[in-house]
Chain A
Amino acid sequence: MAQNDLDELYGNDLIRDHNRNPRNSAKLNSPDLVADAVNPFCGDEAHFQINLDGQGRVSEVGYEGVGCAICRSAGSMLSEVIKGHTLEGVEEISGLFQDMMFGVEPSEEQAALLGDLTSMTGVRAFPIRIKCALLAWSAIEDRISEHQRRQP
């Protein structure tokens, strides 16, 4: 077995850890924002509840993911890195993450914003699985753009 490749994908302790112990798994009651996404091809799901503070920054996140290790761990990492950011800031991180998944190496400063998500670079060797890593972000992005349209 080409173990080295697989280890790039799964051998990463962070991915395994987030998959087994997703962060922010407590569901929020009456959150400010709810974001959900389903991948119709595989049935994987990502569900987020988000609270914002007085300055419009993400203060609390609840996350539940159903699916493969990549999908679940990406969602868990996302739930951590968006805390403290405005919705515009979250969108920026989302853009950085997508760039990274399609081959753009983040700068040191960008890597700091991406946090544990930088461990996802191994997924790039498995093109068919990139969408697993992006599902959680598609949920958040869709919800943010909808939210912003509604703001005066």
Chain B
Amino acid sequence: MYDVKKIREDFPILSRKIYEKPLVYLDNAATSQTPRQVIEALVDYYENSNANVHRGVHHLSQEATDLYESARVKVAKFINAREPEEIVWTRNTTESINLVAHTWAQEHIGPGDEIIVTPMEHHSNLVPWQKVAADKGATLRILPLAKDASIDLSDIDEYITPRTKLLAMVHMSNGVGTINPVKELTAKAKKMGATVLVDAAQSAPHMPVDVIDLDCDFLALSGHKMLGPTGIGALYGRRELLEEMDPFLTGGEMVLEVWYDRATWNDLPMKFEAGTPNIADAVGLGAAVDYLQDIGMENIRDHEIQLTRYALEAFKELEEELEMFGPSDAEKRGGILSFHTDAVHPHDLGTFLDRDGIAVRTGHHCTMPLMRSLGVIASARASFYLYNTEEEVDALVDSLKRALRYFTDGAK
């Protein structure tokens, strides 16, 4: 039985008041809140086990190393990687994608090659490929957008061809919530010999993600969107690819042997982890994964589908005022509602909601080209997580109704 009330008790921040109103936190696509279990893991690490990893012979160093590496095992299992060596710690999804752009892509993308992305990429999975394409004389191609803000697949075979070297795609759109058919597109791309990178920043926190089932080559995620601390993320890479790739950053930890004039690289995954890593936050992310798996990713996904369905229904009251983006079927989207009205700018809506204690994101959500394709500059976005409730959706709709009235006819 999914007990949202009990889950909420694990999140100290959710009992906060904002302007004397209970906090209604609906900005989970930007960052998620942190359960006590993760905070305690961080405190416990610093109070009892803090030391540098993979270095000392002393007891604490071994303890820190064990904690750090067991967090890697947890993340590997979480996304069903074959082995923990396929998980490289990074700061976040952006760094994970840049790692691939600065290593693998440098060797494998050349003049005339094509890189394919979806029309709803976060800037972090678009700008690195713009730069690789420009530097290498390759072409960046954008899949077309369908009316419901999903990918228009009608001409997909014109896009994914033997010229395709890389398909880089977001699993769940942070801008509009669309869940893309990653598995099907990966299969198509692989048939053409392409490599596939999946941006799982939004999907990994909210639904089961299985790299073997998806059959992708790379997958990137961020800890802070899945109940973990900021500053820690991960890149999954298939072992064969990681083995043959050059290092990203160089220095300590990533080397095996060093002479004055040369060095040899350490084994996976340390080859990609130069310098003292973010040990504590990796441990914290491990605790977040434990927490998520205790509840179960299927259960979290079901909760969010129900909540999204409830919200889509509740928003029908506002359908004359608000334009909603993304698929209308809750099964085909994440718990992200993105909406727009010509009557009130998203920032003005956001300020009004804020004074009701409701936190939503307003702006372009780091997806400026997508917003432009939708014909708007910015939208307001409410995004759910495992701890959100139907009462919070009601509060959102009620506040939105009053906001619309306030800005359009001045009534209070």
Contact = CB atoms under 8 A, between A and B. Distances in A.
B355 interface: yes
30 contacts: A1-B352, A2-B20, A2-B355, A3-B412, A5-B355, A6-B351, A6-B352, A6-B355, A10-B348, A10-B406, A10-B407, A41-B363, A42-B347, A42-B378, A43-B363, A43-B364, A43-B377, A43-B378, A44-B377, A66-B377, A67-B347, A68-B345, A68-B346, A68-B348, A69-B345, A69-B348, A126-B351, A129-B347, A129-B351, A132-B347
Interface string B350-366: 01100110000011100
A114 interface: no
A83 interface: no
Interface string B191-210: 00000000000000000000
Provide the main secondary structure of the chain A interface: helix
A37 interface: no
Given A66-B377, A70-B347, A70-B348, 11 more contacts: A1-B399, A2-B355, A3-B412, A6-B352, A6-B355, A43-B377, A43-B378, A68-B346, A69-B344, A71-B345, A129-B351
Contacts of B259: none
A19 B202 CA distance: 36
A112 to B, nearest CB: 28
Contacts of A44: 347, 377
A12 to B, nearest CB: 11
A122 B377 CA distance: 26
A16 interface: yes
Most buried by B among A5, A69, A71: A69
Contact of A43 (B21, B348, B371, B406): B371
B55 interface: no
Contacts of A139: none
Given A43-B377, A68-B345, A9 B20 contact: no
A119 to B, nearest CB: 16
B347 A68 contact: yes
Nearest to B356: A1
A72 B345 CA distance: 10
Contacts of A72: 345
A139 B364 CA distance: 21
B204 to A, nearest CB: 26
Interface of B: 19-21, 344-348, 351-352, 355-356, 362-364, 368, 371, 377-378, 399, 402, 406-407, 410, 412
Interface of A: 1-3, 5-7, 9-10, 16, 41-45, 66-72, 126, 129, 132
Contacts of A7: 412
Contacts of B344: 69
Nearest to A41: B363
Given A43-B364, A43-B368, A6 B347 contact: no
Contacts of A5: 19, 355
A126 to B, nearest CB: 6
With most chain B CB atoms within 10 A of its CB, the pick from A42, A70, A132 is: A42
A37 B412 CA distance: 33
Contacts of A42: 347, 362-364, 378
A129 B368 CA distance: 21
A128 to B, nearest CB: 8
A5 B399 CA distance: 16
Contacts of B407: 10, 69
A69 B377 CA distance: 14
A129 to B, nearest CB: 7
Contacts of B21: 1
A126 B346 CA distance: 16
A16 B356 contact: no
A9 B345 CA distance: 14
Contacts of B363: 41-43
A50 B377 CA distance: 26
A60 B355 CA distance: 39
A9 B351 contact: yes
A5 to B, nearest CB: 6
Contacts of A6: 351-352, 355, 406
Contacts of B346: 68
Nearest 8 interchain pairs by C-beta = A68-B345, A68-B347, A43-B377, A42-B363, A2-B355, A69-B348, A2-B19, A68-B348
A72 B356 CA distance: 24
Nearest to A4: B355
Nearest to A9: B351
A6 B350 CA distance: 12
Given A42-B347, A42-B378, A66-B377, A1 B402 contact: yes
Contacts of B410: 16
Nearest to B352: A6
